[in-house]
Structure 1
Amino acid sequence: MTDVSAIAAAHGFELTGSREMPDIEGAAHVMTHAASGARLLYLANDDANKAFSITFKTPAADDTGVFHILEHSVLCGSEKFPVKEPFVNLLKTSMQTFLNAMTFPDKTMYPVASTNERDLLNLMDVYLDAVFRPNIYNRPAIFEQEGWHWELEGEGGNRALVYNGVVYNEMKGALSDPDSVLFDALSAALFPDTTYRFESGGTPAAIPTLTYEGFLESHRRHYRPDNSYIVLYGNLDLDRFLAFIDEGYLAPLSADERGPLAPNPLDLQP
């Protein structure tokens, strides 16, 4: 029987709880990385389809869609993988059984899965480097491409400045659906004093108000180990995975100088 507590301790984690999980025919083990504050849930069972995800608390404080833009942008190259579209490359070349990134009203999630352990470690490496060491700090064009920018449209004397950008255009399309507009209006009416009153994907009216500096500050405040929750799932070598996460990312990041902890404070009226 695997001694989860001893394995966790060997890699800087403290096991804080374990329980049997009949629904997955396995067990759940909760642990915290002592130096960085990152939390980790290991769902152990005999499933050959192994999975990893890292999630950050990212409650929206406005309609700029900053966390939606960040979700796109961190997957546009990183320190270790300085390619233009690592996400697309992984879709083409890895053995992944699931690969995605999702922005919710209160969190941003980066999940991957594979039946091959070595492949999953590679997917983890790309994702962890993307979220913690993205190229957004030295390539402002990523923000302009994925968020918004000005460009000239038309010809001759009919040329005009218009907004463009991946997320900007995505949300123009999404909010052209009356059901989406109604859902946002209902959320704002039902939850006026919470983060759920905002459109976390961003609205076309508010997205262009987001500055590059505000974009970077949102990443600095929220994309950090002590604001993260890591999940491992399936039949995998726990010792190997915890060593990889600790030595490659959490331990080095623990020594970083960081400002006040996220998430965004909300100025809520009584």
Structure 2
Amino acid sequence: MPHPLPLVASTSPDAHLILEQDHGAVIRRTILPGGVRVFSQHIPGMRSATIGAWIGVGSRDEGPEHAGSTHFLEHLLFKGTATRTALDIAESFDRVGGESNAATAKEYTCYYARVIDVDLHMATSVILDMVTSATLRDDEFELERGVILEELAMADDDPADVAHERFSEAVHGGHPVGRPIGGTPAIIKAVTREAVWEHYRQHYVPEGLVITAAGGVDHDELCGWVLEALDAGGWALDPAAVPLARRDQFAPVVATSTPRVDVARDIEQSHIVIGCEGLRAADPRRNTMGVLSTILGAGMSSRLFQEVREKRGLAYAVYSFAQPLAEVGQFGMYAACGTSKADEVAGLLMAELERMAYDVTPGELERAKGQIAGGTVLRLEDSYSRMSRLGKAELAFGELWSIGEALDQVHAVTGDGVAALAAELAARPRVEVRVGPAT
């Protein structure tokens, strides 16, 4: 059975939760004053620890006047606080052999650090100082504007990145989830420091903060350190406050997809992405989608790899992918090939998806399940992956499955279920993006 993580007031008996999962790994949840959610997973014998500070706000949440602010903040929070310079922050982790970073996504932002367990107090203090007390100085803002523009230029030089970005825009039409996470050069050049500051003050609040930590972590100590850091940052923690609600997974999605997008580039290959709208994150068929995508385009034994690369030698890179979001998602297939072969390759991609609607063999099904099971366990062998899993479970699902329970769901997927989903995807309005030489 799932273990729900409901949004409740900190005064509720359900504000504290203790679960034992996966061979002695203990998961605890506490809702602190202010509505701050703290989750930890103690893993016996692990000497590393990773802490993450999550804000459930991503690129899709920006208003027109704040466009580009989410990605800008990912950079700027490392540039200094009232008590630490950018060098102080960097040296804090370098001197203990740790690492720190951040990730901006369409629906969340996470600032994290991975250290040995004895340095987790320091990591908590530094990360939460960044979250609560960033100064966003004018000079640093302008310097970082240039850095972000270089980052976007680097991505624009990668035709595969361009193809995926244009595909997301085309699938989701005018919906905010179709926006580029990093913004565009025009957006980054136009956004003001005042707009980013306003975005920061609006969304970086106790009710929206989720702290997750995994590895060699003591939950009670962690909660004390979080309260200490938030108090040092000057955050007022109202005992009656409750966490912000999760996104509405059933909100209507109004968007008009674009069937075909061609981007002319003076390069050697055509980069093709073909697909359609996928499944939302909480769709009960998400495990079926995982098995489908694995059979179709994950690994050297997948249908796309075998048919397009091994049997015909038409491409070096070919795969399928699925990206679930709160109320909508995307599914697609990618290949890079010679421009003269682009039509043939595009046809093969769709043909393999359509074939899955009536031809899923027991051998393929079991191989895909084994691939997913092994990959899932191996990915969770480090404290960062465990920390990340906790944050995504809280922000997206409100329930956390043990690894064993998650694998049981994968093994419960049937061939008929995969075939039915393949037929549904193949029948949905199709989007095709090509980046390469003009033809």
Instruction: Confirm or deny a common fold (TM above 0.5).
Output: yes
Cα-Cα RMSD: 3.1
**Greater fraction helix:** 2
Helix, strand or coil for the counterpart of 1:53? Answer: strand
Q: Which residue of 2 aligns with 1:201?
A: 182
**In structure 2, how many angstroms separate the alpha carbons of the residues matched to 1:242 and 1:255?**
14
Q: Which residue among 82, 85, 90 is the counterpart of 1:79?
A: 82
Helix, strand or coil for the counterpart of 2:20? Answer: strand
Kindly indicate whether residue 127 of structure 2 is the aligned counterpart of residue 124 of structure 1: no
Q: Which residue of 2 aligns with 1:174?
A: 155
**In structure 2, how many angstroms separate the alpha carbons of the residues matched to 1:262 and 1:85?**
36
Helix, strand or coil for the counterpart of 2:189? Answer: helix
Deviation at 1:180, TM superposition (A): 1.3
TM-score by length of 1: 0.75
Q: Which amino acid aligns with 1:111?
A: Y
Deviation at 1:28, TM superposition (A): 1.6
The superposition leaves residues 38-70 of structure 1 with CA deviations (integer Å, 9 ceiling, x where unpaired) of: 111111221221221111112223694321111
Greater C-alpha radius of gyration: 2
Q: Which residue of 1 aligns with 2:104?
A: 103
Q: Which amino acid aligns with 1:130?
A: M
Deviation at 1:31, TM superposition (A): 2.2
**In structure 1, how many angstroms separate the alpha carbons of the residues matched to 2:67 and 2:91?**
29
Number of aligned positions between the proteins: 231
Question: For the Cα contact (< 8 Å) 2:26–2:43, is it kept in 1?
Answer: yes
CA 1:64–1:181: 2 relative to 1, 3 Å? farther
Q: Which residue of 1 aligns with 2:55?
A: 56
**In structure 1, how many angstroms separate the alpha carbons of the residues matched to 2:246 and 2:231?**
19
Question: For the Cα contact (< 8 Å) 1:64–1:208, is it kept in 2?
Answer: no
Q: Which residue of 2 aligns with 1:248?
A: 229
Helix, strand or coil for the counterpart of 2:86? Answer: coil
**In structure 1, how many angstroms separate the alpha carbons of the residues matched to 2:70 and 2:202?**
11
Q: Which residue of 1 aligns with 2:381?
A: none
Question: For the Cα contact (< 8 Å) 1:51–1:232, is it kept in 2?
Answer: yes
Q: Which amino acid aligns with 1:69?
A: F
Deviation at 1:87, TM superposition (A): 4.0
**In structure 2, how many angstroms separate the alpha carbons of the residues matched to 1:87 and 1:25?**
34
Helix, strand or coil for the counterpart of 1:214? Answer: helix
The superposition leaves residues 166-195 of structure 1 with CA deviations (integer Å, 9 ceiling, x where unpaired) of: 111111111221211111111112223543
**In structure 1, how many angstroms separate the alpha carbons of the residues matched to 2:196 and 2:111?**
19
Q: Which amino acid aligns with 1:206?
A: I
Helix, strand or coil for the counterpart of 1:230? Answer: strand
Q: Which amino acid aligns with 1:37?
A: G
Query: Where in structure 2 are the equivalents of 1:142-157 lying within 5 Å?
Result: 142-147=140-145
CA 1:206–1:262: 2 relative to 1, 3 Å? farther
Which one is further off, 46-55 or 84-93? Answer: 84-93
The sequence identity of aligned pairs, in percent, is 24
Deviation at 1:116, TM superposition (A): 3.6
**In structure 1, how many angstroms separate the alpha carbons of the residues matched to 2:120 and 2:29?**
21
Query: Where in structure 2 are the equivalents of 1:131-142 lying within 5 Å?
Result: 131-136=131-136, 139-142=137-140
CA 1:236–1:59: 2 relative to 1, 3 Å? closer
Structure 1 unaligned runs (5+)? Answer: 1-12, 148-164
The superposition leaves residues 209-232 of structure 1 with CA deviations (integer Å, 9 ceiling, x where unpaired) of: 211111101111121221121002
The superposition leaves residues 116-166 of structure 1 with CA deviations (integer Å, 9 ceiling, x where unpaired) of: 42x221122111111110121xx211211112xxxxxxxxxxxxxxxxx11
CA 1:194–1:87: 2 relative to 1, 3 Å? farther
Q: Which amino acid aligns with 2:129?
A: D
Q: Which residue among 156, 161, 165 is the counterpart of 1:184?
A: 165
Structure 2 unaligned runs (5+)? Answer: 1-12, 239-243, 248-252, 256-439
Larger RCO (alpha carbons 8 Å, 6+ apart): 1
**In structure 1, how many angstroms separate the alpha carbons of the residues matched to 2:245 and 2:90?**
30
